[in-house]
Chain A
C-alpha cells in the first residue's frame, strides 16, 4: 500500500502550485501517527500501569479566597486502601515550590499552604489503591476555612486598597510597563481620524480531550525518579522539574506519553508532576495522578488571555494607518508562573499585516482570585488580532472606505519584505493582497451580498465577515521574559534536535526530542528524510526520546514544530547522506563530487548502473571500517541541533525587541452568519479561508490545523468563557457550563492555500498551528457586525452569547455606544 495519495497535490490544496522539484515535501502523505491513535494503541498517561501503582486524587478549595484554619485528615487516613494523605505543608517536605518564569516574588506550591487563592486550588492530596477510594478519602478530609474577600474584577483589583492576593507584592498589579515604538504622539497629532474601541476578551481555555497527568515512581535506594507524563518540556526544562521534585538532574528520567490534545496547555504542567512526585515519595510506590475534567477546568494551566483593551488607531484622511495605541489590563488570576509571556508573544505582530508606523503598548498584568493563566493556542496574539481588526473595520466605517480597500491600502507590499515592524520583530515574506483577493473570489462575495439583500427584505439578518490577520510562527521562548528591564534569563535560541542513524542494513531511524502532542512529528520527519534520501516515508522509523538521551527540544508550541523539525531532520539527513556519499565514493573508487543519492541509491553521476544501496554502505560503515576512508569513524549516526533560524536579542532600552518570531503566516477569513436579533442566536452558514503558511509541508495536515483552529475560533466567538460569580466561585466548572462548538455548530469550511516561502527556513516552511484560531474570532465578530449593521450594532466583546447579542441590539436601539 502506498502512503501517498494518488491524487496530485494540486487537487489537495485547491490551488495550482509549484513543488520546487521536490518529491515528498509538499505532498499529503498519510499521517503516520493515525493508525495507533485510531486503533486505541497509543500509550497515554492513563494507560501506564506499573506494579503496585497507586492512584492520586485532590481535594480542592470551594472558596476563591480563604485562610486554611485547620485540616483534619484522620478519617481519610483510616479508610482501607488509603496509602497517604498530604496537606500542602506535608507535601512541601517532599517536593519544592513550582518553578516560575516571573521575576516578581509570587511563590506557588502545587498544594496550597495556609491560604487558598482561587476556587479549585489544591488543599490536600491522597494516594490510594484506586481512584474511587482516593476520592472517598478526599470526601472524608475536614477543612476549616476562614473565608476572605474575593478579588474578582481586575479593574477593582488594581485599586491601592484592594485586598492583596499576595503579601509579597506591593499591589495586585504584578507587572506594568509602557513601551513606545516610534513617535506615537506626533503621529496621533497629525492624524485625521482616531478610531477607538474598548474591547473585552474574556478568559477561555484550551480544554484538551485528555487532561494533564503523570505517573511518578520514586526509587529511594538510588534516589532516582521515573516520571511518565504528558508534559511538553521533558527535553526543554528537565532540570526545572528535577529541582521541583527534589531529584538530582542526572537521576530524573522523564518519559513522554502520547498526548490527547494540548493546544498550549500542557507545556509545563508542574502541578500534576509535583502532586504525583510528592505522593510517590510519601508512599515509596508508583503513583498515577491524572486530572479529571473538574480538576483540569478549575485548576490547570488551561486558561488563555483575559483582557480589557482601550485601543486607538490613528489614520490619515485617505485611510493610511499611522499609529496604534493599545492599553491593556490583563487578568492573570492568582499566580504569575508564566509571567507576561502572552504579551511578549503579542509583541510579535501587534500592528498586523499593515504598515503602521508607531505603537504604544501599555500593559498591566493584574492578579485576582482566579486560576492562573497558562498558554492557549494564540498565546496572546489572539485578542490582539481581534482588537486590531475591529479597529480597521471601524475605520472603514468612519472614513467610508470599503473594508477590503482600506486593508489593501495598508498592507505591507511583497517587495517590502523582510519587513521590520515597529516593536522590532521582522516579517519574512508574504503577499497579503493576493490572499485577500483570492478569499473574496472563493467566497463569492457578490452572491452573498445578493442573498443578504433578499433576506433583509424578509426581516432576516445575514452577515459577511472579513478579517486579514497575521500568524507569527516559530516562537522563541525569550518572549516569556524579555519585557523585563533586567530579565531573569538571557535570550534563548530555543533549539530542537534530532538523532538520525542508518543501521547496518540501511534502515533509517530518527529519534526526536518532542512528544506526540496530537500533531504529526513522525509524518513530518519521515517526509524530510524521504526527501533527502529519496526513500519512501513509510520506511522511516521515528521514536521519541526520553529525558536521559540528551535530546534538546522545546516541542510543539508557538507554531514552531514543523519549522524546527524539518530544519533538524534535514541537517542530520545531510550529514549522514554526505558521509554515505564519501564511503560509497571510496568503495567505487570515485571522487565524492561525482556520487549522488537518488531514490535511496548512491550512484555515479551520469553512470547510474555504478551504484551502492543504503544497506551496502550501512554494513560497510558499521562493520568494515578498513574499507572506508581513513578519516571517517565507524557508524552512521548524527545528532543535529537546529537553533531558531532567525532571532536577535532585544536592545537594552527595549526600543527594539529584536526579531524573535519572524516566520509570519497570513490568512483571510470570510465567515457567513445569520443572526436572530430577537433571540441573539448566531448561526454560521458558510466559512471561507485562504491561508499562506509558506511552503506546505503536507497540505492535508495544514488543512487539519486550520479547520481545527477555526472551530476553536467559533467557540471563542460565540460560546467559550470562564465565568465567575461575585464571590469568586467558578460558574463554569464542567462542560455543561463551559461550552465548545460541536459538529452541529460548524459549517462546511472551505480552505485554500497560497504559498510564499520563507527565506529563513528549510524548504521555506512556516508554521500553521494557530492560524485558524488567530483569525476566526475577529472574522466572526465582523460578520455579526455586518449582519446587524441596520440595527447599529458594534461588536467589541467576545464571546457573542445570545444574551450579549440581544443586549447589543437593545443597546444600539437606546443609543448606547
Chain B
C-alpha cells in the first residue's frame, strides 16, 4: 500500500499548470482534494509519473452565480471543496440538488478536502455528484494550452472512470444552469453504510407548468450502469403527465430500461435494476411534490 515513485509538481498559476500538463500529457494526473487519486496510487491502481497539484493555483477556488445576459449560472471552480459547496447559500438557492446529493458523499472530513470538480472528473459510475450534475443539465469547462471548451455533462462521462478529457486538458470548473420556476429536485440512494458510495442512487429534477403538468423531467442514476446515466424512458413517462401516483409508478417501472449495471459484492446487476426502479419512484415523487412547493 505504498505508491510507486512519482514526480510532484506544484504550479503557481493556471498557465504553469497547463504547461506542465501539456508537457507530460497522459503521464500526468491532476491532484486536487486527493480523496480518490491518492488511494488509487497507494494501491498502485494508478501510477502516474507526474502529479500536478493545483491547490496553489489562484482563482480555481471561486464559487459564484453569474447573471450575464442569459439565465443565471452557478460556476464552481476546480478546487472548491465539497464542504464549501454544501454550506454555500448560493448553491442551496441555485441548485439544492447538489447540496442534497453532496451530503451523501463520505463524511464531513473527507468532503472538507475533496472537491466537487474532482468527483466529476474522476467519473466514478457510482458517485453522487456526477449524477447530480447530469440531472441538472450541467456543463464541464475544460482548459488546455490550446484554449477552453465546454462539454455537456452527458458527453463528459464516457465510461467507468473515464471522461472526455484529452491529454493536456484539465477541468477548471463546472457550470449549472438555473432552473425555471416550478422546479423541484430530489436525490435518494441506497448505500450499505452512511457515507459509502451508493449501490444505486437517483437524482430527479422535475418542472411543472402552471396547469400542474410536468413540463420537464430529468432523471439520472448512479450505480446502475458503466457511467452516470439518464433514465430517458422514465423521463418520457413523466413528461406531459400530471405527476400523479400513476405517472410516478410508470416512470419507476421504466427506470431500469436499457440499463447495464455492473455487479459487485454490494449488489448484483438485477438488484441494481430493482433499486433503480424503487428509488426512481421515490426520487420523482419527492421532486414532483417539491416542484409544487410542498415539502
Q: Report A's interface with B, CB cutoff 8 A.
A: 131-132, 135-136, 139, 292-294, 678-681, 719, 721, 723, 731-732, 734, 737, 739, 741-742, 744-745, 801-803, 806
Q: How far is the CB of B292 from chain A (nearest CB, A)?
A: 22
Sample of 19 more A-B contacts, CB < 8 Å, known A679-B275, A723-B265, A801-B266 = A135-B4, A135-B44, A136-B5, A139-B44, A293-B1, A679-B190, A679-B278, A680-B190, A719-B192, A732-B265, A734-B43, A737-B265, A742-B195, A744-B193, A745-B194, A803-B266, A803-B267, A803-B271, A806-B271
Q: Is the CB of B4 within 8 A of A139?
A: yes
Q: A742 CA to B192 CA in the complex, in Å?
A: 11
Cα(A292)–Cα(B266), bound, Å: 23
Chain B positions within 8 Å of A135 at CB level: 1-2, 4, 44
Q: Is the CB of B196 closer than 8 A to any CB of chain A?
A: yes
Q: In the complex, what residue of chain B is closest to A810 when comparing beta carbons?
A: B274
What residue of chain A has the Cβ atom nearest to residue B3's Cβ? A132
With contact pairs A739-B192, A744-B194, A803-B271 given, residues A731 and B264 touching in the complex (Cβ less than 8 Å): yes
Whether the pair B190, A681 counts as a contact (CB closer than 8 A) is yes
- Contact between chains at A742 and B194 (CB < 8 Å): yes
> Residue of B at shortest CB range from A742?
B193
Known contacts A731-B265, A737-B265, A802-B267; A132/B275 CB under 8 A? no
Which B residues are in CB contact (< 8 Å) with A678?
278
Q: What string of 1s and 0s marks CB contacts (under 8 Å) between B269-295 and chain A?
A: 001001100110000000000000000
Interface residues of B in 181-220 (CB under 8 A from A): 190, 192-196, 199
Chain B residues positioned under 8 Å from A806 (CB to CB): 271, 274
* 24 A-B interface contacts by CB (under 8 A): A131-B2, A132-B2, A135-B2, A135-B44, A136-B5, A139-B4, A139-B44, A293-B1, A294-B43, A679-B190, A723-B265, A737-B264, A737-B266, A739-B193, A739-B196, A741-B193, A742-B193, A744-B194, A745-B193, A745-B194, A802-B192, A802-B199, A806-B271, A806-B274
Contact A801:B193 (CB < 8 A) given known A136-B5, A806-B271: no
Which chain B residue lies CB-closest to A292? Answer: B1
In the complex, residue of chain A having the shortest beta-carbon distance to the beta carbon of B268: A803
Alpha-carbon distance between A718 and B268 when the two chains are bound, in angstroms: 17
Q: A734–B265 Cα gap in the complex (Å)?
A: 12
Interface contact A719-B193, CB-CB below 8 Å: yes
Q: Chain A residues near B274 (CB, 8 Å)? A: 806
Q: Mark B126-142, 1 if CB is under 8 A from A, else 0.
A: 00000000000000000
Contacts from B to A (Cβ < 8 Å): 1-5, 43-44, 190, 192-196, 199, 264-268, 271, 274-275, 278-279
Query: When chains A and B are docked, how far (Å) is the Cα of A574 from the Cα of B183?
Result: 79
> CA of A803 to CA of B1 in the docked complex: distance in angstroms?
31
A292 to B39 alpha-carbon distance, docked (Å): 14
Chain B contact residues: over half helix, strand or loop, or mixed? loop
Question: In the complex, which residues of chain A have a beta carbon less than 8 angstroms from the beta carbon of B5?
Answer: 132, 136
Distance (whole angstroms) from the CB of A198 to the closest CB of chain B:
22
Closest to A134 in B: B2
**Shortest beta-carbon distance from A546 to chain B in Å:** 30
Min CB gap B262→A, angstroms: 13
* Whole-angstrom CA separation of A362 from B110 in the bound complex: 49
Bound form: Cα–Cα A791–B73 in Å: 49
Residues in A whose Cβ lies below 8 Å from that of B196: 739
- Chain B nearest Cβ from A207, distance in angstroms: 14
List the A side residues contacting B44 at CB < 8 Å: 135, 139
Contacts of B199 in A (CB 8 A): 802
Specify the chain B residue showing the minimal Cβ separation from A744. B194
A131, B4: Cα distance in complex, Å: 11
Q: How far is the CA of A802 from the CA of B265 in the complex (A)?
A: 11
A136 to B274, CA, bound (A): 44
The 5 A-B pairs with the shortest beta carbon distances in the complex, nearest first, are: A744-B194, A292-B1, A803-B271, A132-B2, A731-B265
A135 to B194, CA, bound (A): 33
Residues of A within 8 A of B194 (CB): 742, 744-745
Q: CA A139 – CA B47 in complex, angstroms?
A: 12
For the complex, what is the distance from the CA of A745 to the CA of B195, rounded to whole Å?
11
A203, chain B: closest CB distance, angstroms: 13
A682 → chain B closest CB, angstroms: 11
Cβ of A139: which chain B residues have Cβ within 8 Å of it? 4, 44
Report the bound CA distance from A135 to B193 in whole Å: 32
A2 to B134, CA, bound (A): 60
Q: A271: shortest Cβ distance to chain B, in Å?
A: 17
CB distance from A459 to the nearest CB of B (A): 13
In the complex, which residues of chain A have a beta carbon less than 8 angstroms from the beta carbon of B264? 731, 737
Task: Please report the C-alpha to C-alpha distance between residue A737 and residue B267 in the assembled complex, in whole angstroms.
Answer: 11
The answer for the CA separation of A719 and B193 in the assembled complex, in Å, is 9
Measured CA separation A723–B265 after assembly (Å): 7
A28 to chain B, nearest CB (A): 31
- Chain B residues lying within 8 Å of A719, measured Cβ to Cβ, are 192-193
Q: How far is the CA of A195 from the CA of B275 in the complex (A)?
A: 35
Chain A residues, CB < 8 A from B1? 135, 292-294
CB pair B4–A801 under 8 Å, yes or no, is: no
By beta carbon, the residue of chain A nearest B200 is A679
How far does the Cβ of A317 sit from chain B's closest Cβ, in whole Å?
42
Question: What separation, in Å, do the CA atoms of A341 and B1 have in the docked complex?
Answer: 33
Cα of A719 to Cα of B279 in the assembled complex, Å: 21
Chain A residues near B266 (CB-CB < 8 A): 737, 801, 803
- Distance in angstroms from B157 CB to nearest chain A CB is 21
Residues of chain A with a CB closer than 8 A to B278's CB: 678-679
The interface residues of chain A lying within 8 Å CB-to-CB of B279 are: 679
**Roughly how many angstroms separate A737 CA and B2 CA in the complex, as a whole number?**
20
- CB B126 to nearest CB in A, in angstroms, measures 11
Determine how close the nearest CB of chain B comes to the CB of A173; give it in whole angstroms: 28
Shortest CB distance B197–A (Å):
8
Instruction: Determine the chain B residues whose CB is within 8 A of the CB of A721 once the complex forms.
Output: 265
Bound complex: CA A739 to CA B274 (Å): 22
Task: Give the docked Cα–Cα distance between A723 and B266 (Å).
Answer: 10
CB proximity of A687 to chain B, nearest CB, Å: 17
Find chain B residues with CB under 8 A from A744 CB.
193-195
Q: How far is the CA of A681 from the CA of B266 in the complex (A)?
A: 12
| Most chain B CB within a 10 A radius of its CB, from A679, A681, A801 | A679
Among B194, B265, B271, chain A packs the most CB atoms within 10 A around the CB of B265
Could you tell me the distance between the alpha carbons of A803 and B278 in the complex, rounded to whole angstroms? 13
Closest chain B residue to A721 by CB distance?
Answer: B265
Q: How far is the CA of A356 from the CA of B5 in the complex (A)?
A: 64
Shortest distance in angstroms between B127's beta carbon and chain A's nearest beta carbon? 13
In the complex formed, the residue of A with least CB distance to B197 is A736
Q: For residue B193, which residues in chain A have a CB less than 8 angstroms away from its CB? A: 719, 739, 741-742, 744-745
CB distance from A428 to the nearest CB of B (A): 39
B44's nearest neighbour on chain A, judged by CB, is: A139
A122 to chain B, nearest CB (A): 16
Cα distance A587–B274 in the bound complex, in angstroms: 85
Q: Which residues of A contact B190 (CB under 8 A)?
A: 679-681, 802
Q: For residue A803, which residues in chain B have a CB less than 8 angstroms away from its CB?
A: 266-268, 271
- Residue of B with least CB distance to A135: B2
Nearest A residue to B281, CB-CB: A678
Assembled-state Cα–Cα distance A732/B265 (Å): 7
**Complex CA distance for A742 and B107, rounded to whole angstroms:** 11
For the complex formed, measure the closest distance between the CB of B163 and the CB atoms of chain A, giving whole angstroms: 21
A739 proximity list for chain B (CB < 8 A): 192-193, 196
- Quick one: which of A131, A802, A803 has the most chain B CB within 10 A? A803
